[in-house]
Amino acid sequence: MVETIFSHVVSIFMCLRRTSPGGGQALNGVKTGGVTFAFWTKEGATLPVGQILTDEDFDLASIGLAPDPTKQKANAQEVGAALSSPFKGALADFDPKAAFYAVGMTPSKSRVAVRTHLTTTVADTLHHLRQYFAAQQLVKINPAGKHPDRSTYDLYPLVSAMYRDARKEHTEPDVDALVQFALSGQPLPRSFLVKLNARNRVDEYHVTRPRAVLTKMVLLSREFKELEMDKDSLDALNPNQKEPAYHLGRLLAVLDDIQTSAMRGVNTTLVDRFYGSMSTTPYAVVGRLIHGSQAHLQKLRKEKPGVYKLKQDELEAVMSRLKDIPARPLTTAQQALFALGYYHQRAHISEGIREGKAAKDAKAEAEKNANNDATDTNEGDQ
């Protein structure tokens, strides 16, 4: 008995010691949020799960985990293709039928407490990892530039999205839940949405990308009977979503855009003042906000007719989806979908700005080339 326990301890210790070639993250272990995970297989090579879940620069495509950005879930054919693909390096002897094990541990005085354990196959683990990263696919507000949005996140940014300072919080259950979802597809807890909604209301940045990504992951991972939601289109703006909460989030983003377009450099935006009330009791503030937007639209119509037409059309498009404003406070799930609607609309607005700038730059370049050609022609005639 003692020898068996000792052999398991040695095996786990070796999993945690084995690191990537550069000496970075452990290939077969994860240490984050106060929890230490070890991963191994009964035979053959082991998926480098530790590196996959904690290294944001890990090349997911190298082991068939790069998700299709146009799809939310991996189908059976995609999984089969991934399993039969030619793996390299650490996965040269990859065996999809081999048993895969995971154990999560935390220190308990002089002992080690096992928090969670998992027994499955390498094939199932790969299948769920693919869906885990597919669930993170979300339209980007800042796709390029000095600090572009990431396509996927490791464990710690996702956990941190729920707290003001995750280092001061008891995050072990959160890490457990995310690892279980990544490796076995276990639904993420509803309590995640409670924490995310709270941070959206009080944080100055409101719906950050990591919060939006984790919100989407929770909504995809389980059923919400109170929502009329199309799960297959949560990665980007969907004007055909039926749930009013989604379009209320879009409405707040549009009204805020109208204000900032008419009043540059405002210290306190519409979102700063009304995100909390709009995302919980919209019936109490919608009328006031729409009425207030009329003055901003009138200013735009006088000073920037083109911008006015664009903003007015966007407002009408969103209002056409809001036949009735919910007369009761939004539920936790509805608040989460409100946040996604707000994020999607912001991304849509940002895309419009980029396209407008690109068109303006292209026009300026064309005029410059035309002027240069005219100058060259005149000089030739002389």
What would the pLDDT profile of 90-125 be if each residue is shown by its tens digit?
Answer: 344 567 888 999 999 998 877 888 888 999 998 899
* Residue given tokens 């980029």 in the structure block: 354
Q: Which amino acid is at 68?
A: D
Q: Supply the pLDDT for residue 104.
A: 92
Give 216 or 146, the one with higher predicted confidence. Answer: 216
Beta carbons within 10 angstroms of residue 300's beta carbon: 20
Mean pLDDT of the chain: 85
Residue spans per domain, the chain = 2-134, 228-351
Per-residue model confidence (pLDDT) at position 181:
96
In this prediction, residue 49 carries a pLDDT of 86
- Overall average pLDDT of the 272-291 stretch: 96
Task: Say how far apart CA 347 and CA 249 lie, in whole Å.
Answer: 12
Q: Report the alpha-carbon distance of residue 13 to residue 7 in Å, rounded.
A: 10
Residue 70 scores a pLDDT above 70? no
CA atoms of 264 and 115, how far apart (whole Å):
52
Q: What is the pLDDT of residues 150-204, one digit of tens each?
A: 999 999 999 999 999 999 999 999 999 999 999 999 999 999 999 999 999 999 9
CA 59 – CA 307 distance, rounded (Å):
42
Secondary structure in 3-state letters for the chain? CHHHHHHHHHHHHHHHHCECCCCCCECCEEEECCEEEEEEECCCECCCHHHHHHCCCCCHHHHCCCCCCCCCCCCHHHHHHHHHCCCCHHHCCECCCCEEEEEEEEEECCEEEEEEEEEEEHHHHHHHHHHHHHCCCCCCCCCCCCCCCCCCCCHHHHHHCCCCCHHHCCCHHHHHHHHHHHHHCCCCCCHHHHHHHHHHHHCCCCCCHHHHHHHHHHHHHCCCCCCCCCHHHCCCCCCCCCCHHHHHHHHHHHHHHHHHHHCCCCCCCHHHHHHHHHCCCHHHCHHHHHHHHHHHHHHHHHHCHHHHHHHHHHHHHHHCCCCCCCCCCCCHHHHHHHHHHHHHHHHHHHHHHHHHHHHHHHHHHHHHHHHHHHHHHHHHHC
Separation of alpha carbons 305 and 317, rounded Å: 18
Q: For 132-155, what is the mean pLDDT?
A: 93
Beta bridge partners of 94: 45
Q: Is 140 exposed, middle or buried (0-12, 13-18, 19+ CB in 10 A)?
A: middle
Digit-coded pLDDT (tens) for 283-333:
999 999 999 999 999 999 999 999 999 999 999 999 999 988 999 999 999
Mean pLDDT of 226-249: 94
Structure token pair of residue 327: 């007369």
Main-chain phi, psi angles of 35, to 5 degrees? -115, 140
Q: In the prediction, which pLDDT does 79 show?
A: 40
What would the mean pLDDT of 263-268 be, rounded to a whole number?
Answer: 86
- What pLDDT is attached to residue 46? 72
The tokens for 240 are 């055909």
What sign has the CA pseudo-torsion 359, 360, 365, 367? positive
